[in-house]
């Protein structure tokens, strides 16, 4: 029997983190193998965004540890993590509404030395509609188009790990489907591992290799592909 040798690209061990005097994450452990699309599900307020922000380095780890690509990054700053290859698309997308699409893309290019040679070709290959809209202001795009712009902006830095926080939020179903197809293409390149926070059944079922289900700042369950494709099991872990 052939077994595929995969490396853990991300290891989160017993992580406690939160805001001010309250801990939101109460000892979270997850691991992602290279090339997987792993989802995090759970009701509103269970700590999904807090987990993603902690992995990005935007919130300090109060105890526990985080390893990325074999290196300890537990107390490294967000910019260090970004340079190491972690990309982040926040839940609110973080598009600058008054900047053009092109300027938004350039704002994402904070890594590397070839600052003037932004790879627009690969952006247009991924999201052709952005080509015609380069000079349009970010704020005039639809929710789904803004989400795609935010993903394109994160990918400009060629991350090894992409953190996607609820890409379907406020996005019409046809574009959610496009995003799902795009994530499958991205997975097929084998170059990017994705941690996807989601509550949309179709998107979860289309792209996830497996999922972690969170409750009250903890991982309460792990879901296989079969579990994810069982609407009843999935519904039990998601805000309805
Ligand atoms: N900036 C903040 N300051 C203080 N508490 C916060 C802050 N952001 C979130 N919280 C609290 O932390 C808890 C977890 O929030 P978090 O945003 O991680 O949840 P979530 O699972 O992403 O929810 P949703 O599905 O609504 O996006 C909630 O109780 C929330 O009120
Ligand atoms: Mg959230």
CA of 48 to the centre of ligand 2 (A): 5
CA of 47 to the centre of ligand 2 (A): 7
Domain definitions of the chain by residue range: 8-93+159-235
> 42: Cβ below 6 Å to ligand 1?
yes
Beta partners for residue 13, in sequence order: 65
Give the model's pLDDT for residue 109.
Answer: 80
Give the model's pLDDT for residue 119.
Answer: 80
The Cα 143–Cα 130 span in angstroms is 14
The Cα 50–Cα 44 span in angstroms is 12
Report the nearest atom of ligand 1 relative to the CA of 239.
25
Q: What is the pTM of this model?
A: 0.94
Query: Hey, whose CA ends up nearest to atom 27 of ligand 1?
Result: 44
Report the nearest atom of ligand 1 relative to the CA of 46.
21
The Cα 225–Cα 99 span in angstroms is 40
Residues 121 and 85: beta-carbon distance below 8 Å: no
CA 213 to chain centre: 16
The Cα 234–Cα 240 span in angstroms is 10
The Cα 54–Cα 36 span in angstroms is 20
Give the model's pLDDT for residue 111.
Answer: 62
What topology does CATH give the domain 8-93+159-235?
Rossmann fold (3.40.50)
What's the Cα-to-Cα distance from 169 to each of 51, 53, 179, 238, rounded to whole Å? 18, 17, 12, 14
Residues in the chain: 240
User: Cα torsion for 169, 174, 179, 180, to the nearest 10°?
Assistant: 100
Q: Tell me the pLDDT of the chain (240 aa) as tens digits.
A: 555 566 899 999 999 999 999 999 999 999 999 999 999 999 999 999 999 999 999 999 999 999 999 999 999 999 999 999 999 999 999 999 999 999 999 988 866 555 556 788 888 999 999 999 999 999 999 999 999 999 999 999 899 999 999 999 999 999 999 999 999 999 999 999 999 999 999 999 999 999 999 999 999 999 999 999 999 999 999 866
């Amino acid at each position: 029997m052939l077994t595929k040798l995969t490396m853990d690209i991300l290891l989160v061990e017993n992580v406690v983190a939160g805001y001010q005097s309250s801990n939101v994450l109460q000892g979270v452990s997850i691991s992602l193998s290279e090339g997987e699309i792993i989802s995090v599900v759970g009701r509103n307020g269970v700590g999904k965004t807090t987990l993603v922000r902690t992995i990005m380095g935007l919130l300090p780890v109060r105890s526990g540890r985080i390893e990325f690509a074999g290196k300890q990054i537990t107390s490294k700053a967000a910019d260090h993590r970004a340079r190491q290859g972690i990309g982040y698309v926040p839940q609110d997308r973080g598009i600058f509404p008054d900047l053009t699409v092109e300027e938004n893309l350039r704002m994402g290019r904070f890594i590397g030395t070839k600052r003037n040679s932004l790879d627009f070709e690969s952006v247009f290959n991924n999201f052709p509609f952005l080509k015609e809209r380069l000079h349009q202001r970010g704020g005039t795009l639809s929710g789904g188009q803004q989400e795609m712009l935010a993903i394109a902006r994160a990918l400009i830095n060629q991350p090894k790990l992409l953190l996607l926080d609820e890409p379907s939020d406020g996005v019409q179903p046809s574009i959610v489907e496009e995003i799902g197809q795009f994530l499958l293409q991205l997975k097929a390149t084998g170059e990017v591992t994705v941690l996807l926070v989601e509550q949309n059944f179709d998107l979860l079922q289309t792209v996830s290799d497996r999922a972690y289900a969170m409750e009250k700042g903890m991982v309460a369950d792990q879901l296989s592909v079969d579990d994810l494709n069982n609407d009843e099991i999935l519904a039990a872990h998601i805000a309805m």
